[in-house]
Amino acid sequence: MSHEIVDTTITTLGKASIDSPLLNGQQSFIDDADRILVKIRKLELEADLKQEKSLTCFELAGPRKKIYYDASKLRCALVTCGGLCPGLNDIIRSVVLELYYHYGVRNIYGMRYGLQGFIPKFGHDVMDLSPASVTNILDRGGSILGSSRGPQDIDEIIDCLERMNISILFMIGGDGTLRAAEKIADNILERKLKISVVGIPKTIDNDIHLISRSFGFDTAVEVSTQAIIGAHNEAAGYPNGIGLIKLMGRHSGFIASTAALAQQDVNFVLIPEVDFDLEGHQGLLTALEKRLASRGHAVIVVAEGAGQRFFQDTPEERDESGNIRLKDIGLFLKNAINNHFKNRNIEINMKYIDPSYMIRSLPANANDSVFCGFLGRNAVHAGMAGKTKLVIGRWNNHFVHIPMQAATSQRKQVCPEGELWSAVLEATGQGSLKNT
C-alpha cells in the first residue's frame, strides 16, 4: 500500500487568537509545527532523501494554546452515519464531556438518524447533549443518535447548520461519510462561512486509508474469536465436522485475518484481497476434503467480501448509499461444500455462524473505549482551534490530523505479500487455494 500523499496541509478558518481555557489546568500543548513522519522505515526515508523528496509528515493532534472560537458563544453538533459500530456512544460521550467541562461549551446538539437529521422533510428532532444525557451510554451498543444511509442535499445540510448557528460539526462515519463531510466543508468554504467540519473515521473493517487503527475493530476481533471457539468446538464434536464463520470485511480482510491469528483453530481464511478457487486440485473443496481425511474436522473463516467473482452472472444491486450489495458468500460456500461432499457420498456435519450484526451493535470493549476517548478529545481540540476538512487518526503511535481528501483517496487493504497475510498462511497452513 502506497503512503504517497500530495498534500497533508490542514485547512484552517482563520487565525487562532483566543487563549485556550485549558491554560488554567495542568495541560501540555501541541504546536502546529509538531509533525509525525508518514514513513518510518529507514530504506524509505533514505530513498526519499536520495531523490531530494521532502519527507511527508502529519500535523500532530492535541490541544493548542490559542483557539479560534469563543466557547461562550459556540454551538456544536454531532452526527453518526452509516452502519453501526462498537464505540459510537463512547465517541459521543467523549466529545460532549470535552466540550462541556474543558472548553465550557454549553450548546451541544445531536442530529438524529444521520444526515437525515439536517433535512426538514424527515422531521427528526434534535437532541440536546449534556453530561447528564451521556452519563450512562457506554454500556449501550449502537448510537444514541441513531444513523441512516444514503446521501442528502449538501445545500440543505448547510442551510440547517446556518439556521442552528452551528460553528463546529463533528461527523462520525466511514469513507462515504467522510467524502460527504469533505463536500460539506468545501461548500461551507465557498459560502465563506465560519463552520469547522471535523471527521472521526468509523469503520469496523479497519479499511480507511492512512488510519492505522479504527475504533470498533478491537471489539470485532475479540467477539469474532468467540465465534471461532464455538465453531471449532462444534466441528470437533462431530465426525467430519465443519465450522464455517462469516465475518465483516466488505473490501478488506483485517478482521478475518486478525481473528484467525488470535484464535488459531482456523484452517482456512478467505479474504477479498486473495483470490481462491473452489474446484480443482488446489481449490478450497479439495483442500477441505484432505483436511477432513487427515484430522476429521475443519474451521473456515470467510470475510463477507471474499469470492464475489462467483456471482458474476447475478444482477448487481446497490444500497441507499450507492454501495454494491455484496452477495452472500457464506451461504454460497455452505451450499457448495454440502453439495461437494454429498456428490462424493461423504457425510459431513456443517455448522454455519454469522455473528456480523450482533458484533456491530455491541458496546465497545475496554481497549476500544479508551481509544474512542482519545479520538473524541482530539476531535474537539482540532475543532476549537478552527481546523476543518480533517479527520483524527492514529499513525505511528500518535494521534494526528489527516486531510479528508487523503483519507478517502484509496482504501486500506491486507497486502497479500505482507506480514499479516504471511502470518495467516503460517498459522493455518492453507497454502495457495488457486489452481496453477
pLDDT, one tens digit per residue, over 192-202 is 999 999 999 99
Query: Is 155 marked active-site?
Result: no
Q: Which domains does the chain have, with CATH numbers?
A: 11-214+365-407 (3.40.50.450), 217-361+417-428 (3.40.50.460)
Residues 319-335: tens digit of each pLDDT: 776 777 899 999 999 99
Rounded Cα distance between 17 and 20, Å, is 9
Indicate the SS3 state at residue 11. Answer: strand
pTM above 0.95, yes or no: no
Kindly indicate the confidence band of residue 2, based on its pLDDT and cuts at 50, 70 and 90: very low
Residue 28 burial by CB count (10 A; 0-12/13-18/19+): exposed, middle or buried? exposed
* DSSP state letter for 151: -
What would the pLDDT profile of 24-52 be if each residue is shown by its tens digit? Answer: 776 789 999 999 998 766 555 555 555 55
- All three cell numbers of 81, joined, read 452515519
Tell me the C-alpha distance between 179 and 185, whole Å. 10
Where would I find the beta strands (DSSP E) of 68-208?
Answer: 75-80, 107-111, 126-128, 168-173, 196-201
User: Which residue among 205, 265, 354, 368 is the active-site one?
Assistant: 205
**Residues 248-263, mean pLDDT to the nearest whole number:** 96
The reported pLDDT for the residue numbered 51 is 55
- Residue-level pLDDT at 387: 98
**What per-residue confidence (pLDDT) applies to 6?**
61
DSSP string for residues in 412-425: ----TTSHHHHHHH
Q: Where are the alpha helices (DSSP H) in 98-146?
A: 131-134
Distance CA 199, CA 169 (A): 8
- The rounded mean pLDDT for the chain is 93
Q: Is the pLDDT score of 263 beyond 70?
A: yes
